[in-house]
Amino acid sequence: MSYNPNPLYAAPEDWRAYSGVLSRRVFAFILDYVIVALLCIPAAIVLFFLSIVTLGLGFFLYPALFVIVAGIYFGLTVGGPSQASLGMRAMGIAIVRVDGRPMDFMTAIVHLALFWILNSVLTPLILLAGLFIERSRLVHDLLVGTATVRTV
């Protein structure tokens, strides 16, 4: 059986596709949240002018600005054709669904929301689950039906 280094949709059965995925996910997380923080700067400027146009109603969105920007960022990148955010691409990983269908915007948003919820409840110890679950999947991966695989 040959190893396909670029799995687009179906989660492969080859163990090499999951080798070193957990450490790559941690570094991709750091890169992605630096990118989201940088994207919040122009979003805050746009929201300021939107707030002036809406006579101050837009100012109520500032507390949720990070969540909105992160949701759009991950929804468009992970739910896009590459099935990976910019940080994930830099680390050579992608998210695939185990049922073989491509990731879509809504699945990416649910994946992100479950990550935030489970991380707030279980703390970063959620990463320990990847050491014991097959394919180095985390709890939110199991709930959504996804797996993270290497692309390089």
- 9-33 pLDDT, tens per residue? 556 777 788 888 999 999 999 999 9
Could you tell me the sign of the dihedral formed by the alpha carbons of 97, 100, 102, 104, in that order? Answer: negative
CA-atom Rg of the chain in angstroms: 17
Direct distance between the N- and C-terminal alpha carbons of the chain, in angstroms, rounded to an integer: 18
pLDDT at position 1 = 43
Name which of 40, 92, 47, 45 is nearest 70 in CA terms: 40
- pLDDT tens string 114-130: 999 998 888 777 778 88
- Please state, as a whole number, how many other Cβ atoms lie within 10 Å of the Cβ of residue 102: 14
Q: Averaged over 44-60, what is the pLDDT?
A: 95
* pTM (predicted TM-score): 0.88
